[in-house]
Amino acid sequence: MPSPHPPSAALDESAEDLARERALVERLGASAETDGFVPFDRFMDRALYAEGIGYYTGPTNPLGRLGDFYTAPHVHPLFGRALARRVQQVRDRLVPEVPFRVVELGPGDGTLAATVLEELGREPDAAARYSYVLVERSPSLRTVSLERAQTVGAGAGISVATEEGLGSSGPFVGVVIAHEVLDAQPVRRLVYRREGWQELGVRGIGDRLEPAESRPSRPLPPNPPAAPEDGEIWEHAAGTTTCVRAISDHLASGVAIVIDYGMGAAELRSAHPTGTLAGVRRHQPVEEPWTHPGHVDLSTFVDFTRVRADAARFGLCELAYSSQAEALGRWGFDELLREALRSAPSAEARLRTQLAAKSLLFGFERFQILELAPAGGVVWPIT
C-alpha cells in the first residue's frame, strides 16, 4: 500500500462511482445489526470485496502508478527477479521429477507474476520445471492477472492457471508467494473503555456512514492485549490466520514467502496505540476512510507476532524473518542490480534503475519477509 502523503485526497467521483457507493451503503445497511451498527471487519469486507462494487472487485484496476497505490513489484522488475531467484533455489533443492508449483496468493494486477514468470522462463527447461497458479479473491483482478501472466508464461511455455483456493487441487510441492495480501484482510477494531473492549464500526446516517461504537455482539478475538490503556485500539484480522492455516494445510514441501508491512505486537502497541488503519486514494491518505466505501483502499499493519505464532501452531517452521532489504540481499539482489545496470540502454535508464533499487532497499522499511516451511519436510538453508 505505500505511497500516501498529505494532503488528504479529494474524491472526484463520477455519477457511476456515486451509484456504486450508494449500492454499497445499502448493502451494508442490509447487513447491519438491529441498531444499524456494522462492525468494522464486516464493513471492510464489503467495502473491499462486495461483488462487482467493492474496491478490489469494481470495474477499475486500483493498482499501479495510474491507480491509487503501487507495491514493490510495480517499482522495478528487480523485485520480482530477486523473488524468482529464491523460487529457483527452492526448486533446485527438490526432487526434479516432482511437479513444482508457484502459487501466488492475491496477485492483484499480475505485475509480480509477470516478472517472476519472465525470470523463470529464462531457464532452458522452464516449461517442464514450473507451473504457476494465481489465487485471487477478486474476480475482476483474477481475469486481469491471468491474462497478464498467461501472456508472459506462454513465451516460456510455463502453464498459468487460476484456482479458487490455495489447495483447491490438493496438496502441492513448491513456493507460495503472498505479497501484500495479509494487510488487505478485514480487521475487527476494538477500543478499550472503562467497561471493557468495545467494537468499532460504522453506522448509516441517511446515505452517509459515520464511525460508531457498540458493545461486542461476538466473543472477543483470542489473546487481547494485557493491561490496555483507556482508548487503546486493538486490530485483529482473522483472515491472516486463515491464510497461514491454508499454507500449512496444502503446502506439502517447499517454502511460503509472506511479504507485508507490519511489525511485532509489542512494537505495534507502543508505536500505534490507536491502530494502523489506513485509507488511500490516488496515492494520498484519506482521513475518514469509511466515507467513500468502494473507492478507498483500506489496510492495516500486519501483527507479525500473531502470524508467526499461528505458523508455529499450525506446524510450519520459520526459515527467516527479516526486513525486505535483508531478504533481497539473501536472494541475490546485488548481482541482479549489477546486471541491470550493465545492460541499461542509457545513462538515464541506469539512473532510473539506481533510484528504483534504492527505493526497494530503503523505501519499504516497514516491510517484513517471513519464510515458512512445512515442519518435518526438507529443511531449507536460507541462503
Provide the binding-site residues for ligand SAM, judged by CB under 6 A: 56, 63, 71, 73, 105-108, 111-112, 135-138, 141, 179-181, 184, 239
| Nearer CB in complex with ligand SAM: 62/374 | 62
Q: In a 3-state reduction of DSSP, which class is residue 237?
A: coil
| Nearer CB in complex with ligand SAM: 138/368 | 138
* Closest distance of CB 370 from ligand SAM, Å: 15
3-state secondary structure 264-324: CHHHHHHHCCCCCCEEEECCEECCCCCCCCCCCEEECCEEHHHHHHHHHHCCEEEEEEEEH
* Closest distance of CB 101 from ligand SAM, Å: 16
* Closest distance of CB 230 from ligand SAM, Å: 33
Kindly provide the residue ranges of all beta strands, DSSP E only, lying in 6-158, ordered along the sequence.
37-39, 100-105, 130-135
| Nearer CB in complex with ligand SAM: 228/293 | 293
| Nearer CB in complex with ligand SAM: 37/367 | 367
| Nearer CB in complex with ligand SAM: 25/116 | 116
Torsion angles phi and psi, residue 16, rounded to 5: -65, -40
| Nearer CB in complex with ligand SAM: 203/250 | 250
Do residues 87 and 175 make contact, with C-beta atoms less than 8 angstroms apart?
yes
Provide the angle, in degrees to the nearest 10, between the axes of the packed helices 77-92 and 111-120: 50
* Closest distance of CB 364 from ligand SAM, Å: 11
| Nearer CB in complex with ligand SAM: 142/269 | 142
316-329 burial code (b ≥16 CB/10 A, e <16)? beebbbbbbbebbe
* Closest distance of CB 16 from ligand SAM, Å: 21
User: Measured over all CA atoms, what is the biggest interatomic distance in the chain, rounded to whole angstroms?
Assistant: 65
Do residues 69 and 107 make contact, with C-beta atoms less than 8 angstroms apart?
no
Rounded Cα–Cα distance for residues 117 and 25 (Å): 40
Q: In a 3-state reduction of DSSP, which class is residue 176?
A: strand
* Closest distance of CB 249 from ligand SAM, Å: 14
* Closest distance of CB 189 from ligand SAM, Å: 18
Rounded Cα–Cα distance for residues 168 and 162 (Å): 10
Tell me the three cell numbers of residue 376. 518435518
